[in-house]
Amino acid sequence: MAPSGSRYSRERERMVERQIAARGVDDEDVLEAMRNVPREEFVAESLREFAYEDSPLPIEAGQTISQPYIVALMIEAAAIAPGDRVLEIGAGSGYAAAVMAQIARRVYAIERQPELGRVARERFERLGYDNIELKVGDGTRGWPDAAPFDAILAAAGGPEVPDVLLEQLAPGGRLVMPVGRNRESQSLVVVRKTGDRRFEQTELGAVRFVPLIGEHGWQDLTARAPAARRNEDIGVVIRDAAEALPALDSPEFGALFDRFGDARVVLLGEASHGTSEFYRARAAITRRLVEHHGFDIVAVEADWPDAASIDRYVRHRPALAGAPKAFQRFPTWMWRNTDVQAFVEWLRGYNTGKPKAQQAGFYGLDLYSLNSSIRAVLDYLDRVDPEAATVARQRYGCLTPWSKEPAAYGHMALTSGFALCEKAVVDTLQSLLDRHVEYARADGENFLDAAQNARLVANAEAYYRAMYYGSAESWNLRDTHMFDTLKLLLAAGGQKSRAVVWAHNSHIGDARRTEMGQVRGELNIGQLCRQEWGADAVPIGFGTHGGTVAAASDWDAPMQVMPVNPSLPDSCERQFHDAGVVPSLFDLRPGQRDALRERFEGSRLERYIGVVYRPDTERWSHYADSELSRQFDAWVWFDQTRAVTALAEGHAQGMPETYPFGV
């Protein structure tokens, strides 16, 4: 069998430690098998760099290779032991069969797709897995000629456990498969044969698998007659539900969103961090909500200190002496672009002449600004309590070696086995909060800013440690920080305060309705807002089919204007594109456009482009399964879009010297 030593061995070990063992899988045979099977050999060569990510991956014939944790969980649940005979239904790439073959005496695998069966056989032969037998056929019928089996695992979800499979279990045998009333979501069940025609069943929790197609599973929808497909033409439903959007610079554009004016929080998304139409649309909607509905908080997916300098500008407060210019950290174009510049100027104009209590502020929710936030806390304490500033400098001194490269601190904390700076940063925050009455009396206007920076440092310290324990933990810490910041802003503003949030679709759409929450265990701001405020939290997603986008090919690489690939045929975006609608608003709330809502309640691919865009690996790196109409309350569609225009170095013509984007 394939040796475990390779250039991927370190990633494989980290996968086992952080994604599998850390989640409670403790069967040593399973963990050792996961260490030994080279997952990179079971995906396309172009996707090998993603082989040990905590997620499913695309394979041939439009199918997927399961998330590593799910593979390990199912094998452990099946209690596979040395000497066992195992049946796998839905061999796919062959990865799970290879893992089981490390433990069991013999594995029998059935694959419905001939192409996948051929490729899997070639892999088994090349990698030396000689105790696996594979055939192409209907897995729902099992493999009667090879029965009975000590364990049966199905890598696809059916409406029920087929009796024919239960009949092929040996006494004491175990069957593990996803079961659900619909094709999109299931519960993972374990069935144990306790006697002749006697079985015990337990559930392990919600999962999402492809449908189990066959005689004893779901019908193959792709085989239905063209006439039936025409009767279900989703394009008609989309066109009927579309509300055409006026021009972005028309006052009528924002008026279409008056229906959301009574919400406590309106969350405005984007399908990329570099698309002009998304920024301009969010600006138009926000202007309407601020002017006509009393929203007074604009909270964005940006670092708190950078946004604070913008807030000072739009509310006509003097800039802090020596404060660095805003948004100098990668990706600069995300906020240093002409569309944001235009909105900031509008917000400054709106606030002109208004009392402070009637002004709208601009705030950052994110936590990447470790160095800037440390400096902001110390500058504040220097002004109000020099003695406390001395203590804070000593405490923050722990982080000084890593303040410019905080990810290196996370690596150090992991390798040394303890959180070296955790107590120091938490103590600084607590000291600041303990004296809030005294500090507010001395410099109340800036206390919120200082306290938030201290809170940010504490959370950032935890975030950079969490980065090395798995993507879900660090993601959840970051989004929880952003949500907590939003709650603090609303609390500071009083009961009548209301907020508009600008963040990526992946942050503002309800994570429970996406692969993020259902597969990777991630939460986000949108989910937390719905849990906190219910219908008073309105997430609005944005999408596009093609055009151009401002992005980088890798983290910290230069910005490029890149063409956006046409959306994939089976994606949400392609359905809207094929419907041929103009830029439109789609109201997805219950009772509004229920025919459309029903069509998008099931799982479809949705595209997510961040600051990094990799068109060559787009299916894996930029798409995820999502239930669009459950994820968002509304969807804003622009078929063709263009990249934002980044601000050039130096001040724009006529820009005042106090303008925060100047360099």
For 329-397, the DSSP string reads: SS-GGGTSBHHHHHHHHHHHHHHTT--GGG--EEEEEE---HHHHHHHHHHHHHHH-HHHHHHHHHHHG
Structure tokens at 49: 């760099």
- pLDDT: which is higher, 602 or 363: 363
Identify the band that residue 412 occupies on the pLDDT scale cut at 50, 70 and 90. Answer: very low
Is residue 86 within 8 A of residue 147, CB to CB? The reply is: no
User: What is the helix (H) or strand (E) element at residue 587, kind and residue range?
Assistant: strand 584-587
- pLDDT: which is higher, 280 or 206: 280
**Whole-number pLDDT of residue 478:** 83
**Whole-number pLDDT of residue 603:** 86
**Whole-number pLDDT of residue 519:** 77
Average pLDDT across the chain, whole number: 85
- pLDDT: which is higher, 40 or 7: 40
Kindly report, residue by residue over 253-265, the tens digit of the pLDDT: 999 999 999 999 9
User: Which burial class, exposed, middle or buried, applies to 384 when counting CB atoms under 10 A from its CB (0-12, 13-18, 19+)?
Assistant: buried
Question: Residues spanned by CATH 3.40.50.150 within the chain?
Answer: 9-222
**Whole-number pLDDT of residue 371:** 64
**Whole-number pLDDT of residue 315:** 94
Say which residues have a Cβ less than 8 Å from residue 65's Cβ, sequence separation at least 6. Answer: 39, 42, 43, 56, 57, 58, 59, 92, 93, 95
Looking at domain 9-222, its CATH superfamily turns out to be Vaccinia Virus protein VP39 (3.40.50.150)
Kindly report, residue by residue over 165-182, the tens digit of the pLDDT: 999 999 999 999 999 877
Q: Would you say residue 360 has pLDDT above 60?
A: yes
Q: Which residue has the tokens 């910290």?
A: 556
Mean pLDDT of 244-251: 93
Identify the band that residue 427 occupies on the pLDDT scale cut at 50, 70 and 90. Answer: low
Identify the band that residue 457 occupies on the pLDDT scale cut at 50, 70 and 90. Answer: low
Say which residues have a Cβ less than 8 Å from residue 147's Cβ, sequence separation at least 6. Answer: 87, 167, 168, 170
The rounded distance, in Å, linking the Cα atoms of 353 and 370 is: 35
Is residue 514 within 8 A of residue 56, CB to CB? The reply is: no
**Whole-number pLDDT of residue 654:** 37
Q: Would you say residue 541 has pLDDT above 50?
A: yes
- pLDDT: which is higher, 207 or 394: 207
**Whole-number pLDDT of residue 465:** 57
The rounded distance, in Å, linking the Cα atoms of 12 and 40 is: 9
**Single-letter residue type at 532:** E
Kindly report, residue by residue over 293-321, the tens digit of the pLDDT: 999 999 999 988 889 899 999 999 888 77
Distances (CA, A) of 225 to 183, 213, 235: 20, 17, 18
Kindly report, residue by residue over 190-242, the tens digit of the pLDDT: 999 998 889 999 998 888 788 888 988 887 655 444 433 433 589 999 999 99
**Whole-number pLDDT of residue 430:** 66
Kindly report, residue by residue over 71-91, the tens digit of the pLDDT: 999 999 999 999 999 999 999
Is residue 547 within 8 A of residue 637, CB to CB? The reply is: no
The sign of the dihedral angle between the CA atoms of 64, 65, 68, 73 is positive
Percent of the chain scoring above 90 in pLDDT: 57
Is residue 55 within 8 A of residue 507, CB to CB? The reply is: no
**Whole-number pLDDT of residue 228:** 37
**Single-letter residue type at 339:** D
- pLDDT: which is higher, 340 or 454: 340
Global pTM reads: 0.72
User: What is the helix (H) or strand (E) element at residue 296, kind and residue range?
Assistant: none
Q: Would you say residue 414 has pLDDT above 50?
A: no
Which residues form the catalytic set?
66
Identify the band that residue 413 occupies on the pLDDT scale cut at 50, 70 and 90. Answer: very low
Q: Would you say residue 36 has pLDDT above 90?
A: yes
Structure tokens at 605: 């691919």
**Whole-number pLDDT of residue 657:** 44
Q: Would you say residue 428 has pLDDT above 80?
A: no
Q: Which range scores top for mean pLDDT: 53-62, 105-114, 394-403? A: 105-114
Identify the band that residue 434 occupies on the pLDDT scale cut at 50, 70 and 90. Answer: low
Kindly report, residue by residue over 575-628, the tens digit of the pLDDT: 999 999 999 999 999 999 999 999 998 889 999 999 999 898 888 788 988 999
Identify the band that residue 663 occupies on the pLDDT scale cut at 50, 70 and 90. Answer: very low
The rounded distance, in Å, linking the Cα atoms of 216 and 212 is: 9
Q: Would you say residue 530 has pLDDT above 50?
A: yes
Distances (CA, A) of 38 to 74, 96, 99, 133, 617: 18, 11, 9, 19, 20
- pLDDT: which is higher, 70 or 459: 70
Is residue 481 within 8 A of residue 367, CB to CB? The reply is: yes
Within its chain, how far is the Cα of 87 from the centroid? 34
Identify the weakest region by mean pLDDT among 70-84, 158-172, 422-436: 422-436
Mean pLDDT of 255-283: 97
Q: Would you say residue 156 has pLDDT above 70?
A: yes
Kindly report, residue by residue over 461-493, the tens digit of the pLDDT: 565 555 545 557 778 888 998 898 999 899 989
Structure tokens at 196: 């002749």
Nearest to 153 by CA among 49, 269, 70: 70
Identify the band that residue 435 occupies on the pLDDT scale cut at 50, 70 and 90. Answer: low
